[in-house]
Amino acid sequence: MRTGAILHFRAERKTLFSNYWNFEVLRGLGYKQRMASGGTNKRLILVFSGRVQGVGFRYTVCRVAQPLAVTGFVRNLWDGDVEVVAEGPQQELVDLHNAIRASGLGRNIANERIRWEAATGEFKQFGISF
């Protein structure tokens, strides 16, 4: 019985996530107005290591990014780390980083690397990349 539920979840997950989970549908378009409201945008690249794969890390990062004016993606890396690439106003990016740490994921993070760059504007939304 339990195996059937897992298989059913995986089938639903594949259709929900496809190649890029689009939170734009879930949260409306409010972040676009905030993104366009002035200020210079930055790019924040975070790489988290520790027990960060297989614990809902990517989904939680997307959930905490929903109310923020950020675009980009979160993805698993081949070496067991998780990478977050986000663009937006610097304060929103700092808020994203703080929200990730405060979300309960902090206990799974053994190390993190942070890099700031100039924004490229290549993202239209924030989601999970595979």
What are the backbone angles phi and psi of residue 46, rounded to the nearest 5°? -115, 135
Catalytic residue IDs: 58, 76
Using CA atoms, how far apart are residues 22 and 87, in angstroms rounded to an integer? 16
Q: DSSP for 36-95?
A: TSSS-EEEEEEEEEES-SSSSHHHHHHHHHTTSS-EEEEEE-TTS-EEEEEEEEHHHHHH
Half-sphere CA count of 83, side-chain side, radius 13 A:
13
Using CA atoms, how far apart are residues 124 and 56, in angstroms rounded to an integer? 23
